[in-house]
Chains A and B, each alone.
Chain A
Amino acid sequence: MTAIRSTTTTTRTLGGPGRILRLGAGRAVYETRSYFRQGDSLFFTFLFPTVIFVIFAVAFGSSGDVGAGPDGTGGISMAAYYLPGMAAAGVLLSGIQNLAVDIATERSDGTLKRLAGSPLPVLSYFLGKFGQVLVTSILQLLLLFLVARLVFGVELPGDAEHWARFGWVYLLGIATSAALGIALSRVPRTGKSASAVIVPILLVLQFVSGVYIQFSVLPDWLQTFASVFPLKWIAQGMRSALLPENFAAAEPGGTWDVGTTVLVLVAWLIGGTIVSLLTFRWNRKDA
Chain B
Amino acid sequence: MTESASAPVVSVAGLTKHYGEVEALRGVTFDIAPGETFALLGPNGAGKSTTIEILEGFRDRTAGDATVLGTDPTHGGIDWKARLGIVLQSTGEPGNVTVHEQLSHFASFYPDPRNVDEVIRAVGLEEKAKTLIRSLSGGQRRRVDVALGVIGRPELLFLDEPTTGFDPEARHQFWDLIRSLQREGTTILLTTHYLDEAAQLSDRAAVIAGGRMVALGRIDGLGGDEARIPLVRWRDVDGPHEQRTETPAAFVADLVAASGGEPRDLEIVRPSLEDIYLELVQADEKERNSL
Task: Please tell me which stretch of A111-119, A137-145, A247-255 contacts chain B, meaning at least 4 of its Cβ atoms lie within 8 angstroms of it.
Answer: A111-119
Q: For B93, what are the chain A residues with a Cβ–Cβ distance below 8 Å?
A: 109-111, 114
A21: shortest Cβ distance to chain B, in Å?
Answer: 13
Interface size class on chain A is: 20 to 34
A63 beta carbon closer than 8 Å to chain B: no
Task: Name A106's closest neighbour in chain B (CB-CB).
Answer: B93
Q: State which of B60, B78, B79, B96 has its C-beta within 8 Å of the C-beta of A285.
A: B60
**CB-contact partner of A13 in B1, B79, B81, B109, under 8 A:** B79
- Complex-state Cα separation, A173 to B69, whole angstroms: 45
Could you count the A-B residue pairs with CB atoms below 8 Å apart for me: how many are there? 98
A14 in contact with B111 (CB, 8 Å): yes
Contact of A285 with B58 at beta-carbon distance under 8 Å, contacts A9-B111, A114-B88 already known: yes
Please tell me if the beta carbons of A110 and B185 are within 8 angstroms of each other in the complex: no
Q: Which one of B100-108, B120-128, B214-222, B248-256 is at the interface?
A: B100-108
Query: Contact mask A104-140 → B, CB, 8 Å, 1/0?
Result: 0000011101101111110000000000000000000
Cα of A283 to Cα of B5 in the assembled complex, Å: 33
Q: Is A23 an interface residue (CB 8 A)?
A: yes
- Which of A32-40, A177-185, A192-200, A212-220 contacts the other chain? A32-40
B112 touches A14 (CB 8 A): no
Residues of B within 8 A of A15 (CB): 77-79
* B64 CB, min distance to chain A CBs, angstroms: 16
CB of A260 closer than 8 Å to a CB of B: no
**How many angstroms from the CA of A33 to the CA of B132 in the assembled complex?**
12
Q: Mark B10-37, 1 if CB is under 8 A from A, else 0.
A: 0000000001000000000000000000
What is the CA–CA distance of A281 and B88 in the complex, to the nearest angstrom? 18
- CB contact between A10 and one of B1, B56, B101, B108 (< 8 Å): that residue: B1
Assembled-state Cα–Cα distance A5/B111 (Å): 10
- Nearest CB in chain A: distance from B115 CB, A: 16
Q: Is A286 an interface residue (CB 8 A)?
A: yes
Give the size category of B's interface with A: 35 or more
Which residue of chain B is the closest to A13 with respect to CB atoms? B79
CA–CA, A146 to B202, complex, Å? 63
Q: Does B83 contact A (CB under 8 A)?
A: yes
B92 lies within 8 A of chain A by Cβ = yes
On whether the beta carbons of A6 and B59 are closer than 8 Å, the reply is no
Q: Are B1 and A3 in contact (CB under 8 A)?
A: yes
Contact B90 A12 (CB under 8 A): no
Q: Find B84's partner among A13, A111, A113, A117 (CB 8 Å cutoff).
A: A117
Residue among B97, B110, B111 making CB contact with A34, cutoff 8 Å: B97
Cβ–Cβ contact A12 & B96, under 8 A: no
**Interfacial chain A residues near B112, Cβ < 8 Å:** 5, 9
**A225 at the A/B interface (Cβ < 8 Å)?**
no
Nearest CB in chain A: distance from B7 CB, A = 12
Contacts of B77 in A (CB 8 A): 15
Q: Which residues of the partner chain B approach A113 to less than 8 Å between Cβ atoms?
A: 58, 88, 91
Q: Answer whether A26 and B108 are a contact pair too, CB < 8 Å, given A10-B2, A14-B78.
A: yes
26 A-B residue pairings within 8 Å (CB atoms): A2-B184, A5-B155, A9-B112, A10-B1, A13-B79, A14-B111, A15-B78, A15-B79, A23-B108, A30-B101, A33-B97, A34-B96, A37-B97, A110-B88, A110-B90, A110-B93, A114-B88, A114-B93, A114-B148, A116-B58, A117-B58, A118-B81, A118-B86, A119-B81, A119-B109, A120-B109
Interface positions of A (Cβ within 8 A of B): 1-3, 5-10, 12-15, 23, 26, 30, 33-34, 37-38, 109-111, 113-114, 116-121, 283, 285-286
18 new A-B contacts, CB < 8 A, other than A9-B82, A10-B1, A114-B86, are A9-B112, A14-B78, A23-B109, A26-B105, A33-B97, A33-B101, A109-B93, A110-B90, A110-B91, A114-B148, A117-B56, A117-B81, A117-B88, A118-B86, A119-B78, A119-B79, A119-B82, A285-B59
Name B residues whose Cβ lies closer than 8 Å to a Cβ of A: 1-2, 5, 19, 56-60, 77-79, 81-84, 86, 88, 90-94, 96-97, 101, 105-106, 108-112, 132, 148, 152-153, 155, 184-185
